């Protein structure tokens, strides 16, 4: 199995979207997974589901706000006590709709914090743990940051989200350069339109769903599982010579 004897932290893994699919995939392939999020009930249910799927106690959870440095420091202590850290998936994020001229500073900061500040904080704090693990035992370790198609092409009425995800893509490149001497790879994955809790409401609009299919080369909406496969690849030794890259998984949206 690709992730046997590996420990992975997945932020935003307590929902039913990309984070959950990724966490479950890593666990099924041998990883011990630590789910991180703000809602304990969701995290508990997600961990129970993963353990049921793997028929082993592969998943645990730690409640933390990924935008709060003190809580991330507490997470780091928890992870350190559990052993080495080999994989980090920064998946937490969220959005809302507004036009630039109507966006309040509070709303702008909130979306930037959830999507970009969180990636910076978690990568900074847990990245230090990964360096410590690397000094003790040199092996392939990876950080995968979930960005978005919106980081390439600004989405309608989501200027704060688009700006943040573009930041995630470029932050990942900078982090990759900084951590390369320690053998820690950093890549980002940019999903296009996929069936997740974030897109669920919009996809219920038949006209919106039809427009996505029309403007996507593969003429369909993606599935969270399809994105998770790419994240798992980037986290695995199969991608051992890849760092500082963004993997665009958009069904061919940008080529139309």
Indicate which residues carry an active-site annotation. 161
CA 89 – CA 91 distance, rounded (Å): 6
CA 127 – CA 85 distance, rounded (Å): 9
> Tokens 């309040």 belong to which residue?
104
Structure tokens at 41: 């009930």
Phi-psi region of 26 (alpha: psi -120 to 50; beta: other; left: phi over 0): alpha
**What is the radius of gyration, based on Cα positions, of the chain?**
17
- Residue 230's φ and ψ, nearest 5 degrees, are -70, -40
Structure tokens at 206: 């038949």
- Alpha helices, H only, 83-158: 105-112, 118-136
- DSSP 8-class letter at 255: T
- Residue 3's φ and ψ, nearest 5 degrees, are -120, 25
**What's the distance, CA 130 to chain centroid?**
17
Structure tokens at 86: 């080999």
């Amino acid at each position: 199995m690709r992730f046997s004897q590996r420990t992975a932290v997945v932020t935003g893994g307590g929902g039913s979207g990309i984070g959950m699919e990724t966490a479950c995939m890593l666990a099924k392939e041998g990883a011990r997974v630590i789910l991180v999020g703000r809602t304990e009930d969701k995290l508990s249910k997600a961990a129970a589901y993963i353990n049921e799927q793997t028929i082993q106690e592969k998943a645990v959870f730690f409640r933390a706000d990924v935008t709060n440095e003190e809580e991330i420091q507490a997470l780091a202590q928890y992870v350190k006590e559990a052993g080495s850290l080999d994989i980090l998936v920064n998946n937490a994020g969220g959005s809302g709709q507004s036009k630039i001229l109507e966006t309040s500073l509070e709303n702008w900061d909130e979306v930037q914090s959830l999507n970009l500040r969180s990636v910076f904080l978690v990568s900074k704090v847990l990245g230090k743990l990964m360096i410590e693990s690397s000094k003790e035992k040199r092996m392939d370790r990876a950080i995968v940051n979930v960005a978005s198609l919106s980081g390439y092409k600004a989405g309608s009425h989501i200027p704060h989200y688009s700006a943040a995800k573009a930041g995630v893509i470029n932050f990942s490149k900078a982090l990759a350069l900084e951590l390369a001497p320690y053998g820690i790879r950093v890549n980002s994955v940019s999903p296009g339109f996929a069936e997740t809790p974030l897109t669920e409401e919009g996809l219920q609009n038949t006209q919106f769903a039809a427009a996505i299919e029309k403007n996507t080369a593969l003429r369909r909406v993606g599935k969270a599982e399809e994105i998770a496969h790419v994240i798992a690849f980037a986290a695995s030794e199969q991608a051992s010579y890849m760092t500082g890259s963004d993997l665009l998984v958009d069904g061919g949206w940008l080529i139309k």
